[in-house]
Amino acid sequence: MLVNRQILIVDDDPSIRTLLRLVAERRGHSVDVAADGAEAMQLLKERQYDLAVIDLMMPRVNGYELVDGLRRFEQRPTIVIATAMTDSLIGLLDAELVHSIIRKPFDIEMLGALMTAIVESKPTARQTEGVPEEVVELPVPPPPC
């Protein structure tokens, strides 16, 4: 049985954000999108998500920094990484925080099925008004010269 779940898509590529949003929405889920980790962290302060699909290489706050920042949240979404990065760089991620890693280009049906399987295995989505007990402020590096 599909239950409306809260999914956050974080990717700097607008076409990937749109594609993943459509896949999740067609499966009955509510979706927010962010173009980088700074936008994602702001959304995560405002509501709780059941699942976050996160790219690693993004401007301002990248996926590594976002995942590390999520460590400080008492309740955090299940994390799926969608990336084209090599194994050696993926190895820098904390295996306790990351549920799955999907390589780009990915099979969209497989990713949709994975999203649904993950959110259906969790308790019902929590619509919250507050933020985690310890709010994380990630530094936003200046733009490159």
Does residue 113 lie in a domain region? yes
Q: Please report the pLDDT score of residue 20 as a whole number.
A: 93
Is residue 125 a part of any domain in this protein? no
Does residue 19 form part of some domain? yes
Instruction: Flag whether 40 is in a domain.
Output: yes
Q: What is the pLDDT of residue 81?
A: 87
What does the alpha-carbon distance between residue 44 and residue 40 come to, in Å, rounded to a whole number? 6
**Identity (one letter) of the amino acid at 14?**
P
The whole-number pLDDT of residue 11 equals 96
Q: Give the count of domains, the chain.
A: 1
| The model's pTM | 0.77
Query: Is residue 130 situated within a structural domain?
Result: no
pLDDT of residue 100: 77
Residue 140 lies in a domain: no
First to last CA, the chain: 51
In a domain, 103, yes or no: yes
For residue 96, give both structure tokens.
């306790």
Q: Output the pLDDT for position 118.
A: 86
88 inside domain: yes
Q: For residue range 99-109, what is the model confidence (pLDDT) as tens digits?
A: 878 888 878 88
CB-based contacts of 84, cutoff 8 Å, min separation 6:
57, 103, 104, 105
What stretches in the chain show pLDDT beneath 50? 1, 125-140
Residue 11, Cβ neighbours under 10 Å: how many? 26
> Residue 86's domain is classified under what CATH number?
3.40.50.2300
The domain of 47 spans 6-120
Chain length of the chain: 145
Contact 15, 108 (CB under 8 A): no
